[in-house]
Chain A
Amino acid sequence: QKEVEQDPGPLSVPEGAIVSLNCTYSNSAFQYFMWYRQYSRKGPELLMYTYSSGNKEDGRFTAQVDKSSKYISLFIRDSQPSDSATYLCALKTSYDKVIFGPGTSLSVIP
């Protein structure tokens, strides 16, 4: 079993839709939870970062962590064409080891 599993996608939604992106993990040692966005032919960029269970909101983006279920989600409200990208979940232990999910490709259709 992989340490981090992510919804495979690709995902295609109309502009304005609410998008839900999900990852599950197996190692309870992960303490830091991140979402990266990667545009085509670019490196990933950090979108959201949290270290506790619950929700963290930043504009149209909400990161949700459920440590008991080992499940993390990223919600995008009022999705825009500029949100079209690949979204990678990333998990880190206290020892600086970061594991990335394979990514979910999202297309927001105008």
Chain B
Amino acid sequence: EADIYQTPRYLVIGTGKKITLECSQTMGHDKMYWYQQDPGMELHLIHYSYGVNSTEKGDLSSESTVSRIRTEHFPLTLESARPSHTSQYLCASTSGDEQFFGPGTRLTVL
């Protein structure tokens, strides 16, 4: 079982709030990713990192930001949450060709 953790698992929050979704992995992987997944839809890459102090935007435009100060930690921040941000957010890290996913954070913005 992959050692990749996400908190919180579920979050319901009001419009305009600042939120941070946490992702940590204990496998020492350099490459980490954030995906957004809506029901019945593809996973869309929103951010990725190839190592400490490296962050890039993914294919799907997102108003979120990420940071990578430590190898094991890749948090995602929304400065001002909106209902359009309601989705599931999945964090992943890579060893070779295999991506290991966390359990996801299901975010609802009212």
Interface residue tally of chain B, by bracket? 20 to 34
C-alpha spacing A46/B2, complex, angstroms: 10
Contact of B98 among A2, A43, A46 (CB under 8 A): A46
- What residues of chain A lie closer than 8 Å to B103, measured between beta carbons? 41-43
Smallest Cβ distance from A78 to chain B, in angstroms?
24
Contact of B90 among A2, A43, A49, A102 (CB under 8 A): A43
Assess the A103–B40 pair: CB atoms within 8 A. Answer: yes
Give the interface of A toward B (CB within 8 A). 2, 4, 32, 34, 41-46, 49, 88, 90, 92, 96, 98-103, 105
Take A43-B90, A88-B43, A103-B40 as given contacts and tell me if A98 and B104 are in contact as well, using a CB distance cutoff of 8 Å: no
Take A42-B104, A43-B102, A43-B104 as given contacts and tell me if A102 and B40 are in contact as well, using a CB distance cutoff of 8 Å: yes
